[in-house]
Chains A and B, each alone.
Chain A
Amino acid sequence: MKIFKRFLVATCSVALLAGLALSGCGDNKTDETAAETTAAAEETTAAEETTAAEETTAAGAETDAEAETDAETSSANADVATLLPDGVLKMGLDDSLPPMGFRDEKNEIVGFDVDVAREVAKHLDIELELVPIDWSMKQQELDAENVDCLWNGYSWTEERAEACALTKPYMENMQVLVTMADSNIQSLDDMAGKKLSLQEGSTAELALDDAAEFKDSLDEVVPFKENVTAFKDIEAGQTDGLLIDSIMADYYIAQQDNPDNYLIVGDPLAVEDYVIAFRKDDTELRDLIEATLVEMKEDGSLGAIATEWFGKDITTVGN
């Protein structure tokens, strides 16, 4: 009897908790005006982003002029109007993933993916809203419709293809092993019995799982929240090697005073493709963005952005 009573109490309180959460969100909806002040900060960030965008992106008036000159966009525009009624594409990104998407010295969001997305928005005569999210929460953000797409060095995986509508690959990425040059680790085999660091939740983890033999040869795998701490860890000699996206490794090493201290070892552990993720049922929007990327590849604007960031056009759109 006593147990039953306790069970009852437990159930009630869970219900109460859910109720609290609910009423909280109800408040959130009705108290829109009250929440205005709190929303202000986000607004400021958004505003700041638009200012940042001024040269590259579409502030309203500018795009209107653009649309007139672009006769071919008219059919696409009809699609855009139904797919994105507000005319805003909300791009979910991790704002700490250089060079794909990160904060510059003025704390504005920049990067290769950001520039490409801005160009896509310009082509489609829509506005781009950058929504910096916690990258480990990306699927929830997408499902909750807080963002329309995940676009920030997002690698293709089978699980992700199951959960989302993915575009065709637009760039190739490799999982490479980075070590300190003076560590005498010259190949993946030399990592036997050593410690490996990587970013948790990244595709480096998946690549490692697929390379069972390499993984088993390691002494320990140490996960980090992001790559800079992982880099500091190999610099400090706590771990011996770092498994990381080649594009990010290149950026980090190029930033250092002594790039020669680092070594990208041997063959990549895995070759991956960067794609853009949309909600599973948002295939029409996915197709539209994909088609726009192909268009941009053809008119050279995509290649120009890639050259600006990587020195050459390394995009694989349309291949």
Chain B
Amino acid sequence: MDWNSFVTLLPAFLQGTWMTIRLFLITLLFSLPLGMIITKGRMSKMKWLSGLVAVFQWVIRGTPLMLQLVIVMYFPSIALGIKGVNRFTAAGIAFIINYAAYFSEIYRSGIESIPAGQLEAAKVLGLSKGRTFRRIILPQTVKRILPAMGNEFMTLVKDTALAQVIGNIELLKVAQSQMNRTTSMVPLLIAGVFYMIMNGAVQLIIAAWENRLDYYKG
């Protein structure tokens, strides 16, 4: 593959990249809040609810994302007769549920790392439960879970490649098609560079955010 053929292929790679970015953003948009709801359920004092949520987490985290994609895509049409499932929507739903399950446990780890003494102090000072959570617990939690969340974000950028199993033409799929035409591995390397650029941006954003929250230093 020479420079000229790379230039002609650029639009195709960009189109694949655009799908990857959209899937990334939509997944975050919905799974970040959904994860919070799952955490609430998991930390509920009602045993049946937290048990139920734990089983949900087990099912989602315990099975391959690829399998979940296939189920969301084909179960409705083959088992229930609902035709015309949109490929991108199906991928979005599977990614949102999957990532929300992982996020929920990271949230829980963050929330539970806040010493109980702070809760007691807030109570003594007369802060409402909601206010305690929003003003005391949440800011500290965000700071503590940020590195773990950064890991997940970067994994998500790469996991979007799985969307191709249900027929989405994302970045890696574009590269694989071109690899088969050119019978060369170079398209794969190009895709690798695209992923690195995207994840470079994610890493910089997370680092900048961490820096901002680093209020105890300097």
Closest chain-A Cβ to B41's Cβ sits at a distance in Å of 11
Closest chain-A Cβ to B30's Cβ sits at a distance in Å of 11
- Which segment of B9-17, B120-128, B202-210 sits at the interface? B9-17
Contact A132 B167 (CB under 8 A): yes
Interface residues of A in 221-252 (CB under 8 A from B): 226-228, 231-232, 252
CA A257 to CA B182, docked complex, whole Å: 12
CA A39 to CA B167, docked complex, whole Å: 13
Contact B72 A24 (CB under 8 A): yes
Q: Which residues of B contact A16 (CB under 8 A)?
A: 52, 56
Q: Which residues of A contact B74 (CB under 8 A)?
A: 137, 140, 143-144
Contact A25 B82 (CB under 8 A): yes
Contact A39 B78 (CB under 8 A): no
A187 at interface by CB-CB < 8 Å: no
Contact A107 B174 (CB under 8 A): yes
B76 at interface by CB-CB < 8 Å: yes
Select which of A13, A24, A97 is within 8 A of B93 by beta carbon.
A24
Given A107-B11, A137-B167, A95-B177 contact (CB < 8 Å):
yes
Contact A9 B183 (CB under 8 A): no
Q: Which residues of B contact A98 (CB under 8 A)?
A: 180-181
Given A41-B22, A42-B88, A134-B177 contact (CB < 8 Å):
no
Q: Which residues of A contact B11 (CB under 8 A)?
A: 107
CA A29 to CA B86, docked complex, whole Å: 9
Contact B18 A96 (CB under 8 A): no
A105 at interface by CB-CB < 8 Å: yes
Number of A-B pairs, beta carbon distance below 8 Å: 150
Contact B52 A12 (CB under 8 A): yes
Interface string of B84-127 (1 = CB under 8 A from A): 11111110110001000000000000000000000000000000
Given A25-B76, A28-B85, A39-B88, A96-B55 contact (CB < 8 Å):
no
Q: Which residues of B contact A140 (CB under 8 A)?
A: 70, 73-74, 78
Q: Which residues of B contact A145 (CB under 8 A)?
A: 77, 83
CA A27 to CA B51, docked complex, whole Å: 27
A211 at interface by CB-CB < 8 Å: no
B11, closest chain A residue (CB): A107
Contact A9 B52 (CB under 8 A): yes
B197 at interface by CB-CB < 8 Å: no
Contact B183 A256 (CB under 8 A): yes
Contact B52 A103 (CB under 8 A): no
CA A158 to CA B167, docked complex, whole Å: 26
B26 at interface by CB-CB < 8 Å: yes
Given A21-B76, A105-B9, A107-B177, A144-B167 contact (CB < 8 Å):
no
Given A13-B55, A226-B176, A144-B77 contact (CB < 8 Å):
yes
Given A96-B176, A102-B177, A134-B166 contact (CB < 8 Å):
yes
Given A25-B76, A42-B88, A256-B183, A144-B83 contact (CB < 8 Å):
yes
Contact A29 B82 (CB under 8 A): yes
B199 at interface by CB-CB < 8 Å: no
Interface string of B169-181 (1 = CB under 8 A from A): 1000010111111
B185 at interface by CB-CB < 8 Å: yes
Contact A137 B15 (CB under 8 A): no
B71 at interface by CB-CB < 8 Å: yes
Contact B90 A107 (CB under 8 A): no
B57, closest chain A residue (CB): A13
Closest chain-B Cβ to A228's Cβ sits at a distance in Å of 5
Closest chain-B Cβ to A237's Cβ sits at a distance in Å of 16
Q: Which residues of A contact B93 (CB under 8 A)?
A: 21, 24-25, 28
Contact A35 B181 (CB under 8 A): no
Contact A106 B8 (CB under 8 A): yes
Contact B72 A21 (CB under 8 A): yes
Contact A102 B56 (CB under 8 A): no
Q: Which residues of A contact B8 (CB under 8 A)?
A: 105-106
B164 at interface by CB-CB < 8 Å: yes
Please, could you name 29 A-B residue pairs with CB atoms under 8 Å apart, sorted by A? Answer: A9-B48, A9-B52, A14-B59, A25-B80, A25-B82, A25-B85, A25-B90, A35-B89, A41-B169, A45-B15, A97-B180, A98-B181, A103-B181, A107-B15, A107-B177, A136-B165, A137-B74, A137-B165, A140-B73, A140-B78, A143-B74, A143-B77, A144-B73, A144-B77, A146-B77, A146-B85, A227-B180, A228-B180, A231-B183
Residues of B near any A CB (own CB < 8 A) = 5, 8-9, 11-12, 15, 18-19, 22, 26, 48, 51-52, 55-56, 59-60, 70-78, 80, 82-90, 92-93, 97, 164-167, 169, 174, 176-185
With A24-B89, A102-B181 already in contact, 9 other A-B pairs whose C-beta atoms are closer than 8 Å: A9-B52, A17-B59, A25-B85, A45-B15, A134-B166, A137-B167, A144-B78, A228-B184, A228-B185
Closest 10 CB pairs of A and B: A107-B12, A144-B77, A96-B180, A13-B55, A24-B93, A25-B76, A103-B177, A38-B88, A96-B177, A140-B74
